[in-house]
Chain A
Amino acid sequence: MSGFDYVITIGGAAGQGIATPGNILARLFARLGIHMYAYNAYQSIIRGGHSFLTIRCSDHEIRTHGDVIDLMICLNQDTMDRHLEHLGPNTSVIFNSDTIEPGKAADGVRLCPMAVTEIVGKGANKLMQNTVAIAVTCQLLGIEFKALEDVLNFQFSAKGEELMAMNVKVAWAAYEHSAANFKPASQQAPKPGRPLAVWAGNQAFAMAAAGAGVKFYCAYPMSPSTGILHWMAANGRELGIMVRQVEDEISVICMTVGAAHAGCRSMCATSGGGFALMTEGVGAAAMMEIPIVIVNVQRAGPSTGVPTKTEQGDLWQVLGASQGDFPKLILAPSSPLDAFQTIPEVFNLADKYQLPAIILSDLLISDETSTIDPELLDMHPLIDRGELITEVGDEAGNYERYKFTDSGISPRALPGIPGYEHVVATDEHMPDGVLISDEYTHPHKRRAMLEKRQRKMDGLLADLPPPAIVGDADAEVTLVGWGSTAGVIQEAIGQLAQAGVSVNHLHFKWLVPFHADEAVQLLSSCKRTIIVENNYSGLFHRYLRGETGFTVDGHIRKYDGEPFKPHHIVAAVQEQLEGGETLSVPYEEIIV
């Protein structure tokens, strides 16, 4: 890759304040107009463990944390011991030489020992070693001190003048020490450009919902979905959004359904375990025909699984969520920006077709921190609530909530309007809402109402864009993916092209309803199809085969909790092209 593309890692124990230097560097790069993508490998622990934050920065947009490490900041001995031996030539290693011993390094690794006590002074806050490390990083990359000073002042402004001044002073001392003693980094930061914004994946989901007019958000804390709750709670009052944390995920979804029925656009989010509890509510929304949006941020399962690790393991859970056969919308956005731009449309579709919409995210998307062009942050999307009755009209007194229509869509009257009184029921019912479940069940009425609901799926499918192949139509290989793997597949395709292998990309976002005919047509035109999934048994492939009857040629699967890196996919494709392998399971090099 030509141009600036540099990977910084920060390792330490939970509680050592990795988040702060991470945030400082993220904002620093963003303000300089340098693109940034950060992935944090961490554990479900408050103090201890090993957290390893990877911050990749570049002069062009990036969607993965990359393949290499160019600079490592060790906040503890453990980080040094775990990773030093994996580092190649020209990697810079910054560490506090008062407390950390370097191990055996490969030739060309540039050790940057910092005697922190000497620089900071005795008795200073232990977290000062983080400021020292950031200052050295900036100096090595040739970033002007003023840029760092501004971000430090911003970061510590809430904590008082004294701490602010102290951090700047320490940073300057470290910056000077670095200039005098260390060789510049293997790459130098580009000249400052137009400033970028910084966001976290979950924030993109929350912002999109707020822009789309969500007025009710409900959740029970569960990693890695909690970031959505935090953003909503921090901003809800200012934006007029009711935000509630309640007793369990069953209550979460039922409150969401109740709020939606009464008229608010309503959303909830959770991870797989919480979604399992919500399951019955998904069917309730479908049966009562109440529009809700549910975000399931997948983590490695089953059961409690690995709460802080990523996986695309919940596909069949959401496909099968709730008993019975009923309409629902399921999609898996490919990035925070994709989620941000798609979610308003999801609300419109849920409203139009009066059904539950499930958005499958995963830890990789929801937990990422990245830069985003502020020009892309349009928070005034088109809002279309579909056939909604909000005031008295001609049908007063004769209103049928579940009226039979060709589209299957029955105009929905909000509670509170005189003359439109009706009951919505989870029991099967007639157009006027009267149950046919208990007394005089009637096969013809049951069939008619079920078909009315299901007809909505025809209109919905027609509203969804069909899948498309990105890249050279005659490519030797087609990589098939869904959801969060889009970024890493794209980067792998770039690397494969440089190696002389022509690869294109077929990515699926809209999963239910599914454009099966178009998918078969596209897949049949491909020379060799290899599907990339973050799970063990090829959950999406099984779905794709079920919908299309098409069987792909090869599989690349990863299920160790860590996301794919581009070179994992590159090596797997080459292995399958050369050796005739049909299943590749990449080896994860970074042990956290």
Chain B
Amino acid sequence: MTETNALTVLQPKDFKGKVDPDWCPGCGDFGVLSSLQRAVSELGLKPHQILTVSGIGCSSNFPGFFNSYGMHTLHGRSLPHASGAKLSNHEMTVIVTGGDGDGYGIGGNHFTHTSRRNLDILYLVMNNQIYGLTTGQISPTSEVGMKTKSTPHGSIELPFNPIASAITNGATWVARGYTGNVKQLVSLIKAGIEHKGFSLLDVFSPCVTFNKVNTYQFFRPRVQPLEDIGHDASDWKEGIEKAMEWGEVIHTGIFFETNARLTLEEQEPVLDEGGPLAHRQLGLDTEQTERIVARMM
């Protein structure tokens, strides 16, 4: 697998990590992992060109199961780690993986600001509306009334709406997938990676152990791809409207996308020429240092 011949087309299995996933049998995350493996192989990417970054949680174990460079960071802190890495080496394809608690709860502040910052990153959130690794408490996306170990009488807080939030905060590509619809999911992941800018892909990924409400049976009759109903993804108002719908019909697909904004990397003059910062020579030249000292005199 160390062959780096550009003509070699890698198969999804070439993106299998050093160990197999430790997720529960039936976990929705399996479908996300295999969809990502398919998507990157179809895009012709190589493992060394990808950096997968996660926080902490079941779905955040993702980098260990995926063959690429990886960072398995702190709970809620995947996005800033990924942002720093992307700015340091903007030639890498950076994919952030994690869950709803990690990204929308403890990492909510970073989610807000990374959305508006518009770095060229795909944020893949496996949303199961529950805290699984801590054995079943409500998450920011749990529905009102949800009974868990921390809400034995039912949740009384409104769930967080990641799609609408991402749109209002300035994300330039916002979509939702469902792990039970692999075909759509692969195409969404490919589109998200190819989009230049911050892409949020929120994926319904049922927790078969702790969430007895939002199950495959719950989603299967409800999910409706936006591409089937003629949604205009260039209209952010329409995107938010669709994001607010939750009931008998729950939309998947691309809610909003725009190419009208430059990425942070494109706007940052330091990255204009000279390649990734990480590859540049260290230290200053004499002309630079003489100028600095002259200003002090």
Contacts and interface: CB of A to CB of B under 8 A. Distances in A.
B91 A416 contact: yes
A211 interface: yes
A251 B110 contact: yes
Nearest to A236: B270
Given A263-B89, A434-B64, A438-B22, A211 B71 contact: no
Interface residues of A, number: 78
Contacts, number: 230
Given A216-B88, A242-B87, A262 B278 contact: yes
A280 B286 CA distance: 38
A246 B82 CA distance: 14
Contact of B49 (A199, A210, A416): A416
A420 B2 CA distance: 9
B88 A425 contact: no
A102 interface: no
B258 interface: no
A424 interface: yes
A505 interface: no
B64 A435 contact: yes
Contact of A238 (B70, B77, B85, B288): B288
A421 B68 contact: yes
B48 A254 contact: no
Interface string B257-297: 00000000000111100101111101110101101110011
Interface in A382-423: 383, 385, 390, 392, 396-397, 414-423
Interface in B34-79: 46-49, 51-53, 56, 61, 63-64, 67-74, 77
Given A211-B283, A433-B18, A197 B74 contact: no
B22 A242 contact: no
Given A263-B88, A266-B84, A418 B4 contact: yes
B88 A259 contact: yes
A427 B64 CA distance: 11
B72 A423 contact: yes
Contact of A259 (B48, B87, B279): B87
B81 interface: yes
B116 to A, nearest CB: 10
B292 A423 contact: no
B72 A264 contact: no
B82 to A, nearest CB: 6
Contacts of A258: 53, 71, 73, 80-86, 88
B278 A264 contact: yes
Interface string A253-282: 011111111111110000000000000110
Nearest to A378: B289
Given A280-B74, A423-B72, A383 B282 contact: yes
A263 B279 contact: yes
B94 to A, nearest CB: 9
Contacts of A250: 77, 80, 109-110
Given A247-B113, A424-B72, A197 B63 contact: no
A247 B292 contact: no
A198 B297 CA distance: 6
A435 B278 contact: no
A104 B89 CA distance: 66
Contacts of A235: 292
Nearest to B285: A380
A396 B91 CA distance: 21
B289 A422 contact: no
B112 A247 contact: yes
A390 B275 CA distance: 15
Interface string A198-222: 1100000001001111011010000
B89 A416 contact: yes
A280 B80 CA distance: 13
Contact of B72 (A240, A385, A420, A435): A435
B296 A199 contact: yes
Contacts of B229: none
Contacts of A415: 48, 51, 69, 85, 89, 92
A264 B2 contact: no
Given A216-B87, A374-B293, A396-B2, A423 B64 contact: yes
A426 B73 contact: yes
B183 to A, nearest CB: 28
A377 interface: yes
B280 A240 contact: yes
B224 to A, nearest CB: 35
B84 A432 contact: no
A195 to B, nearest CB: 6
A255 B279 CA distance: 18
Contact of B280 (A195, A215, A236, A424): A215
A397 B109 CA distance: 38
B7 interface: no
Contacts of A239: 284, 288
Contacts of A242: 87-88, 268, 270-271, 277
Nearest to A251: B80
Given A246-B113, A256-B84, A418-B48, A281 B74 contact: yes
A419 B85 contact: no
A256 B268 CA distance: 17
A575 interface: no
A165 interface: no
A565 interface: no
A381 B289 CA distance: 12
Contacts of A264: 88, 277-278
A218 B84 CA distance: 9
A515 interface: no
Contacts of B73: 254, 257-258, 284, 288, 426
B270 A421 contact: no
B270 A434 contact: no
Contact of A255 (B48, B83, B269, B284): B83
Given A215-B278, A418-B48, A434-B18, A266 B88 contact: yes
B90 to A, nearest CB: 9
Contacts of B53: 258
Nearest to B83: A255
A433 B61 CA distance: 12
B63 to A, nearest CB: 5
A338 interface: no
B69 A421 contact: yes
B267 to A, nearest CB: 12
A379 B296 CA distance: 14
Contacts of A421: 47-48, 67-70
B84 A197 contact: no
A239 B277 CA distance: 12
A374 B284 contact: no
Interface string B1-44: 11010000000000001110010000000000000000000000
A262 B18 contact: no
Query: Max chain A CB contacts within 10 Å: which of B2, B4, B49, B296?
Result: B296
A517 B64 CA distance: 43
Q: Which 3 A-B pairs have the closest CB atoms?
A: A258-B84, A263-B278, A213-B282
18 contacts: A213-B282, A218-B84, A238-B288, A242-B268, A242-B270, A246-B80, A257-B81, A258-B71, A258-B85, A258-B86, A264-B88, A266-B88, A390-B279, A418-B47, A422-B69, A425-B71, A426-B73, A434-B64
Given A415-B48, A425-B63, 5 more contacts: A30-B297, A237-B270, A377-B289, A392-B4, A416-B89
Interface of B: 1-2, 4, 17-19, 22, 46-49, 51-53, 56, 61, 63-64, 67-74, 77, 80-89, 91-92, 109-110, 112-113, 268-271, 274, 276-280, 282-284, 286, 288-289, 291-293, 296-297
